[in-house]
Amino acid sequence: MKHFLLFAFVILIGLSTKAQMQDYSFGDGLRYTAEDSTFGIKASFRFQTLFAGNWRVSNDDFYDIGQFQSNFLIRRARLKFNGFAYSPKLTYKVELGLSNRDLDHGGATYYGEGGNLVLDAYLKWNFYKGFSIKAGQFKLAGNRERLVSSANMQFVDRSALNSIFTLDRDIGASLHYDKILGKQFGLYLTASLTQGDGRNLITGNRGGYQTTLKAEIMPFGEFMKKGAYVGGDVYREQKPKLAFAVALDKNGKASRTRGNRGNFLPLDAQFKDLYTGFVDFMFKYKGISVMGEYALRRTRDNNRNVIDQMGIPTGFYEFGSAINLQAGYLFKNNYEIAARYTQTSSSSDVYSAPSRTYYTLGASKYIENHSLKVQTDVGYIQDRYFDDGLTWRVQIEIGF
């Protein structure tokens, strides 16, 4: 209820100040700018309604499919505010996750009595030409698929590479440098220092700090409407556009099984430094889109096991490698077909990162770009050690 009242309050502000409201289209959010231009805000809300069905393929025999399970849920429900304060060079963003799945967390020991509500909460200051600094809680500059908003995905959800290896969100600060060299060559550099334990923790720093570096180039110029981080070529690039990025991350004395994500390791464990690397690209041209990613995660000694002060095993890190390739074509009637291939590989044994191959076929109807769309996909999961799986998902998304 309190979240609804907050949203209603923003609407009332806009209705009471019509002179400062501008006319926008569906999906652009509600916007308000102060009369003296010292403050601006955009408020938006979106949600996803999902059906998911799963079958087990016993003994890897495609003719022996059974044990059907299904689920209806509100996959995501998000309330977002962003804009500028005092000067257009000082911007902010606050995003809240309202669905039960958004609010899930590891318990009051780590998160207090409240929910895991806050997704993003940061200020960003463009203090000199192409240099900006950001402070607060935000997505780290890791793999491209994670940095694509869940509102702008080409498939119903992200790949297994992302679910296992993503850096996700953390609390700290980052330095950015964005520069166009010559007439169109884009160079984008990011360096961040964060706590390393994930978002919304109240327990203080449990391990070391997390350092993330990323470099990205766009040799043929920038994409339309930040399309390098939008799934599918919904804006129909009229010239070939390519983005290529490399990211490196060190989570010093990582306190969770996946760095700043996953299960919490015991405090008496001898934490290790966890290293993650990404290479990715995005290509778009006249409805064609191709994206690829590679991820690798290791400890310095390449040993996933964690021991306590007595030398007794007390946990393990999840690491390994993964590759994700996906491509799609958007027809002029805004129907899209897409295919995705994902492979995750264990670094040591079956209990590390799952060793699986995922084959996914998707179809989407973009009624109003990503703001109103219907998506479905079917997938086959080939497991190296256990039974295979078959999935079918349908999702409707609307964003105001």
Res. 334: pLDDT tops 90: yes
pLDDT of residue 16: 46
pLDDT of residue 23: 63
pLDDT of residue 108: 74
pLDDT confidence tier of residue 353, bands split at 50, 70 and 90: low
- The strand pair at 288-299 and 87-97 is best described as unpaired
pLDDT of residue 22: 64
Res. 388: pLDDT tops 60: yes
Extents of the domains making up the chain: 2-399
**Helix/strand/coil for 158:** coil
Res. 18: pLDDT tops 50: no
pLDDT confidence tier of residue 319, bands split at 50, 70 and 90: confident
Residue 156 main-chain phi, psi, to 5 deg: -60, -40
Which of 8-17, 204-213, 235-244 has the weakest average pLDDT?
Answer: 8-17
pLDDT in tens, 85-116: 999 999 999 999 999 888 877 777 778 777 78
pLDDT of residue 142: 95
CATH code for the domain defined by 2-399:
2.40.160.10
Comparison of pLDDT for 308 and 162, the residue scoring more: 162
Res. 14: pLDDT tops 60: no
pLDDT confidence tier of residue 245, bands split at 50, 70 and 90: very high
Res. 324: pLDDT tops 90: yes
The kind and range of the H/E element at 6 are helix 2-15
By the 8 A CB rule, do 148 and 370 touch? no
pLDDT of residue 5: 43
Share of the chain above pLDDT 90, in %: 72
Res. 68: pLDDT tops 60: yes
pLDDT of residue 12: 44
Cα–Cα separations (whole angstroms), residue 222 to 68, 117, 164, 269, 278: 45, 33, 29, 46, 21
Contact partners, residue 311, CB within 8 Å, separation at least 6: none
**In terms of Cα–Cα distance, which of 399, 298, 294 is closest to 346?**
298
pLDDT of residue 8: 47
Q: Give the C-alpha separation, 40 to 242, whole Å.
A: 32
pLDDT confidence tier of residue 297, bands split at 50, 70 and 90: very high
